[in-house]
Chains A and B, each alone.
Chain A
Amino acid sequence: STGLTEDQKEFQKVALDFAAKEMAPYMAEWDEKEIFPVETMRKAAQLGFGGIYVKPDVGGSGLSRLDTSIIFEALSTGCVSTTAYMSIHNMCVWMIDTFGNEEQRRRFCPSLCSMEKFASYCLTEPGSGSDAASLLTSAQRKGDTYVLNGSKAFISGGGDTDVYVVMCRTGGPGPKGISCLVLEKGMPGLSFGKKEKKVGWNSQPTRAVIFEDCIVPVGNRLGAEGQGFSIAMQGLNGGRINIASCSLGAAHASVLLTQEHLTVRKQFGEPLANNQYLQFRLAEMATRLVAARLMVRNAARALQEGREDAAVLCSMAKLFATDECFGICNQALQMHGGYGYLKDYAVQQFVRDIRVHQILEGTNEVMRMIVARNLLQG
């Protein structure tokens, strides 16, 4: 909490309290039984966590990207998977809030901010992941509707959520031919694939989203035709900070768990904490965590201020924090010895849950592409 304002410390406190009481006791059960904790998320939404950086006039909390990062980091200490889903939800509401017209904002945002309804972000397809701009889902204009055909893959919340922010092709190839449409569950032609079985992120369902002559009113398009890719990427800048923040929370919790374990566990007649190698490793973990946290918070500030280098900083922060934090959690598991491998201990869930942060919302390889392009473009 260094360098935070009084208000930010209060937000952090509420989020940490909520995480400890409403999430941490259940994270193992949610993971094992693959429960999507709707009631808990709605409780979180009542506190303002449903639309953290969405404008208040449609039900959001109107906070900054830095406030958001602090909150997601804190919530993650209770359950990474649920917090990560909440961050995706928040990203979708922000997109509608920012790029939607007044009618769309009023139609969608209030019920999303309260989490009466849940949202999913649909960009990735079976044939286009890192090469997102090559997406194929087509949206043919027919009068005052679009007819969608195609499918999306790996959609978080897919099938259980109500609102789908879908990037689809309305024009020619490449990014400029992509538009952003908001779909709702129940629209004819919208269906879902089977629920995927994952290593982690089990408190949120992941499914393919399928469009078969799916009819969407033109009034559901966010922004202009051809603006969709830009909207998607701007959403992801914030999304990357949020995902990185979730990794921070997991690493933080893991460091605390390790600290406790080292003082309690004895071998060779002494607590593990007396062992210099372990002391040094713990110190390294803590140091890397602080470094990662600073990267993420710095990027959050840059994005909030609309700085030119914000997108690059977000990519750097996502790359650095997700990698470092996975290393920290993995190391924490190692330091728990055999116990670290048991599901009775939380540390393995932190490892499993944050592993995917190095892959989604832009793989860490794509993060390198973004940074390199920025450096070499001159």
Chain B
Amino acid sequence: MAAACLRLVWLAPLLLGLVDGGRAEPPRDALREELVITPLPSGDVAATFQFRTRWDSDLQREEGTDHYFLRYAVLPREVVCTENLTPWKKLLPCSSKAGLSVLLKADRLFHTSYHSQAVHIRPVCRNARCTSISWELRQTLSVVYDAFVTGQGKKDWSLFRMFSRTLTEPCPLASESRVYVDVTSYNQDNETLEVHPTPTTTYQDVTLGTQKTYAVYDLLDTAVINNSRNLNLQFKWKSPPENEAPPVPFLHAQRYVSGYGLQNGELNTLLYNTHPYRAFPVLVLDTVPWYLRLYVHTLTITSKGKENKPSYVHYQPAQDRLQPHLLEMLIQLPANSATKVSIQFERALLKWTEYTPDPNHGFYVSPSVLSALVPSMVAAKPVDWEESPLFKSLYPVSDSSSYFVRLYTEPLLVNLPTPDFSMPYNVICLTCTVVAVCYGSFYNLLTRTFHIEEPSTGGLAKWLANLIRRARGVPPL
């Protein structure tokens, strides 16, 4: 979270197909919105907005999905800025006029140390037999503020300090509009911190495998937006918290390129399972552009120094300029281990018009996608998706003992061998010079006439010699 990792991923509905609710009939045109605020002891504050819109459609769901139409596409790097936020906000029913969306002010949202913005669209069954479907549009925006740095060493925060706005009214179209504040470790004693205004209700739940407590503010509850007609959540640390290390997630990953030179290289993915005693499988999906020619026989997976055989490998080779490599593997991660997946590749030479305008910057390789059912520490009750808050479905619980996580590793930047782009001109110049030199001497040889020059008889020497000769009486030269 230290580096600003900006990504805008448009996910096909199929990628989200894992979560399939639809037990209860969703209301027509239902909008639910919520904001989850998680203050961290370090002074970072994470805020996650979620907006979910549903509408009915007459499209009938086909029997099964035709996998021929499955598409997966990634843009490895996109600099996210206001021009991504504006159309995203336009999709919200209340635009940015009412409800939680008033907080979405571009100049504050992009002054953060982390920004992630997403749009998900998927069909949802309206009844158990799935005879009719609704479409669900889910928009999420997560930002992390560094309150410690921006607040000159203070770790207190408020909505106004984060967003330079306060909540004034609920969106009239929303059937649910709530703010959740994570108060897990602080609510036992009111000594460490204070939340103002005092929450009327709290919500307890198991998220990411641990027990969490949230203070809930329901905007549709008229008492919440008080007489001053606005809600400005404030959070004060009474005694400065210990700088404890943040909890390490059970699954995290890292990716890098190794090797030297411009011919060969190696893609490495490190997968960490920090769970003390449970092993779990991870599905790794990699798409690698065709100009990195993968050597599949060099694919090695090692964990704890031993070879780890994947239980499932699907590989689709690349075709030059047509399709990238697709590599999918199911790997079992042993408990408390780091697993290294590495594969060697050769860098291809591109045609000279295929290079980007700044070829020496390198070429981006898309992140690999990890999907896993991570075992949780605390058993979670199975819940009804329609009833529980939206953020629950970010990490849906499949059964009581594990929850689903999808991780994206960092994109890679790989240098390709770049030609000297002035080479054609140099070649032309050199060839021309060689041709000109050859031609010149040949031309001279053929057109010049050569004849032997009579040595010219020396003037003064001859006259002197003749003078002496005449004096001697010898005939002159």
Partners in one complex: no
